[in-house]
Amino acid sequence: MRDGTLSGAARNLGLTQPTLGRQIAELERQLGTALFIRSQRGLMPTDAARDIAPHAQAMAAAAGSMMRAASGGTSDAAGVVRITASETIGAEVLPPLLAEFRRANPGVTIELVLSNRVEDLLRGEADIAVRMVRPTQQALVARQIGEVRLGLYAHRAYLKHSPAPKSLAALASDHALIGFDQATPFLREMLSRLPITLNDFALRTDSDLAHLAAVRAGFGIGFVQHGIARRDRNLVAILPNEISLPMDMWLVLHEDLRASRRLRLMMEHLATGLGEYVAATNH
């Protein structure tokens, strides 16, 4: 279901296609129901497959968590650490921090998951999470790193033919705005502070990286974290005294994983590095 084809799934699992086909046939025999049917587009999941998919995903996450835990002892700075973060933090902020950690701890393998979906640490989908909302689940150790602020920015190339707006009212009427496709509760709250709606966006995307790339390409005016924008001299703040939106940053670990030395080291390293990023952002 995840890979779309039998050959793709076999390749990712390190199996041959006939072997995987026999395993699926045996699973169907044990369950007493068909899981896939053949179509012109390949194997299509049945309703039964869709019903059991969440349980299979939970099993896969638990198995992955078990393998990571077994990859290094609790007293060793070796093994696998799986980190999840938003696209922006994962692509723009974490790489130099992870490179520094790897140089100091060459025995640690890092898995980095970029997703704006809140990965479930309780099910073992990740070991450590960098989240922009306060976690609500129990059995999690959460550390608040600080407040990251967003502002509106435009590339100098865009401002050459579309001079910066003088007021909030001029944003929607005179400029190409880069925004979001699906309005989450956070986005709805953010838009409530501005005189713009979803209909005012000239480009809508739920990908943070696509949003940032569009701003850098000179498409229009979009939301960028201050700390990231300040790295690029070609990005100009738009109405900075009127628009600066806050987001909390949290570092989260399952409480049962605190005994792992490599995870403790990674947590401390990320807390320090992300703290410095937040401090520079708000300076």
**Tens digits of residue pLDDT in 204-233:** 998 999 999 999 999 999 999 999 999 999
Residues of the chain with CATH 3.40.190.10: 79-146+248-281, 148-247
Position 57 pLDDT exceeds 70: yes
What pLDDT was estimated at residue 235?
97
Highest mean pLDDT among 1-5, 62-66, 204-208: 204-208
What pLDDT was estimated at residue 99?
97
Q: Could you say which DSSP state residue 76 is in?
A: -
Residue 176's pLDDT band (boundaries 50, 70, 90)?
Answer: very high
Cα(124)–Cα(58) distance, rounded to whole angstroms?
A: 8
What does R_g of the chain's alpha carbons equal in angstroms? 23
In this structure, whether the domain defined by 79-146+248-281 belongs to CATH 3.40.190.10 is answered with: yes
Residue 157's pLDDT band (boundaries 50, 70, 90)?
Answer: very high
Position 122 pLDDT exceeds 60: no
- So what CATH class is 148-247? alpha beta
Query: Which architecture characterizes domain 6-66 according to CATH?
Result: Orthogonal Bundle (1.10)
What pLDDT was estimated at residue 106?
92
What pLDDT was estimated at residue 199?
83
Position 264 pLDDT exceeds 80: yes
Position 189 pLDDT exceeds 60: yes
Phi first, then psi: what are they for 260, rounded to 5°?
A: -75, 120
Contact 154, 237 (CB under 8 A): no
Give the three-state DSSP class for 52: helix
pTM: 0.71
Q: Which of 77-81, 132-136, 181-185, 227-231 has the lowest mean pLDDT?
A: 181-185
Residues of the chain with CATH 1.10.10.10: 6-66
Mean pLDDT of 128-148: 81
What pLDDT was estimated at residue 280?
84
Contact 224, 92 (CB under 8 A): no
Do you know the residue count of the chain? 283
Which of 55, 53, 79, 84 minimizes the C-alpha distance to 66? 79
Cα(152)–Cα(250) distance, rounded to whole angstroms?
A: 23
- Which is higher by pLDDT, 74 or 63? 63
What pLDDT was estimated at residue 94?
96
Cα(191)–Cα(235) distance, rounded to whole angstroms?
A: 22
Position 120 pLDDT exceeds 70: no
